Structure 1
Amino acid sequence: MNETITLLSAGNSLGVYIPAKLLQLQLRDQGIHTDIYMLEHLYDHETLDKIPRYRKAFHDSFAVAKMGYKLAKDSRETFDEDHVVMLLHEWKQSGRRRFIALTGFWIPILERYREMMGAVDVDIRLIRLDASHTPSFSVYGKACDAFNNVWLYPVGENRIAQTIAVSEEEPVPFQDRTQRYLIHGGGWGIGTYKDKISELTASGISLNIIAYYNEDLTSDSADLPESVSHRYFMLDPSWSPWQRNSSNEFDFPPFAEIKQGEDCTFETSGNYPKAFELMRHSTGIISKPGGATLLDSLASATPLIFLEPFGDHERANAHLWVSLGLGISYDAWKEQDFAVSVLESIHHNLRNAAYKANNLVSNITNGR
């Protein structure tokens, strides 16, 4: 177990990046040397330069984001061959043999490396963070079957096989939470969450709103009902997941509360994303049902009130969470007049499910 574990991630989704960072920290706590490699470091300049524009377009229009989902393609078309060759040489020189990939876009690189290593046994695991195939895996079809696929939620089994813990802290008891809901659009601010804010406000519901760009911030306090108060938070817009810090490490997203007329300081945290602390104290999470949001919901025992899914894999996530009694659709919750009581029972179901779930890190360290 003294061999280095190489975690393969990407910044195209924080739902891939944050689980990788959590795994790195938890494996290091077990005394295992663990490195993260980001797919973006292999991109050619043209592809890298397009990322901010794509991100903004997907944030501004869910229709555009869904179109992009359908157009997912083989990552080989975006790589700079010189970067790929250098990386493969580096791995071979250092004798790397244990890999954990959280996105399928690394499959072409892993295929080449395994071929380079010949008869040397290379342990490669593809971690499936969703309840069905995501585009990053589905574009490679049967090529995925050549690797060890590790599913958190095995397809067709309607269960949580294992999870990635976010924190060792106990969930905040439901009755001790603030009467406030966290609403967000995942790492890139994608989905219909912005469309729900006015309706929730009119229904007297206070929100913790995650903003992604300055135009997401509104000074609407004068227009709010007396019983409602929203708080705004933001991920540092200048931060990129593939940028290393001064210690040559990758960070969780810098995060801050935004208050009108006050300067803000974006801060990162050591063991888990700062936004997770908001989730722990919120009555519910209102968001699209991404894989990382399922991890947050389970770890914090915070009911997921899910919005329109982003693709078939998120649709499968939503179906799983509802079938296990761990979440509710926004429309179903609305039909119940946004009742808090239904969320309390979901909270208890989440606590029980988290207690029973195996920890992926334990399975990795035990050699399974």
Structure 2
Amino acid sequence: MSTFNTLGLLPEIERVITECGYETPTEVQARAIPIILECQDIIASSQTGTGKTAAFALPVLTLLRKPKRQLRCLILEPTRELAKQVYDNFCQFNQHLNLSIALIHGGVRYGKQRQELETADVVIATPGRLLDHLSQVTAHLDKLEILVLDEVDRMLDMGFIDEVKAIFSFCPQKRQTLFFSATMPEKIRQFARWALNEPKELTIGQRQAPAKTIEHCIYPIHAIQKFDLLVQLIKQECPQSALVFCKTKEEADRLTRWLAEYQFNVAALHADRKQSERQKALDGFKQGKYSLLVATDIASRGLDVSGIELVINYNVPHNAEDYVHRIGRTGRAAREGKAYTLFSSEEFHYLKNIEMLIDSPIEQRVLEGFPYRSMPRIERQPTKRARRNTGSARRRR
């Protein structure tokens, strides 16, 4: 088994790791860190909650070593929240170094960011705001040594491909490029062939399966009774920290208002909120001021809040991969978690796609004592695993 002190990291970083109480690296960390320290390009795929941020942050800081007060490492993130979390991680690992780290995203005055860009060794940024600075010549990438694209699949899903390619055009040809993603669809492989130089590829674990630490199930319910069932599930579980996912910003605001009327401590997180409001909601959730956070999929990737006990999908995600990412907010770092999905009959197509993706039927439950008007019927098709098992049984006969 690998240990952090055998990976070739700086003593200052090993000291921080010890102070944080980390004992052994996760698989993605143990395999990715040596490759990055050899200055090779990498494309790494690993489930959420497996420590991907540290897998690139620790070796990047080791490679940079001493401050030069010029932009040598750029990390691109798809959302402001992810950028802030990665920035916080870098600041934590940088405690005993003296590198300058800047956070660049929308919702903040340009003037302050221009000053930080002048002296930053590491910049964590969202594509749109960074491209603005590059276009205005208030950011320069000519000294760039390392380029990291985090949550690549999400970045492409959100339509950032043109912005990312434009940013690449400002980068020197001679650089180290690192791709990290939760999934590895073909569109990412195609992009990697264009952007990376003979990369090492890592695939860690079963990318499309929920973690074994997550107890997940569906609750069939007619759409008109969804909110009532949501309230009863929350009352039954009494979570200290729970995420409720819904599909639209309007629905997030509506659910937040309704839940507040039931005296729940609740906040909303979605893209139409001001940056200060989003940060206030996220900080309040992390600090325990809010026990419930109602969010759109902006929060389903990389949300780094420890101890989330429960995830509830108010709607079945339309994108099957989003199901894995949503429920992956709980059951992290070997802790157990629960994830419930409220399912109505018109969402059957999306449920079928999820079960095909994870190759397993999702357990169906009924909440005892809830006044159901009637029960939606679910007529499932067998998953690939079930078809294989059926075929094996026929051959044995």
Same fold, TM-score > 0.5, yes or no: no
TM-score, structure 2 length as denominator? 0.40
TM-score, structure 1 length as denominator? 0.43
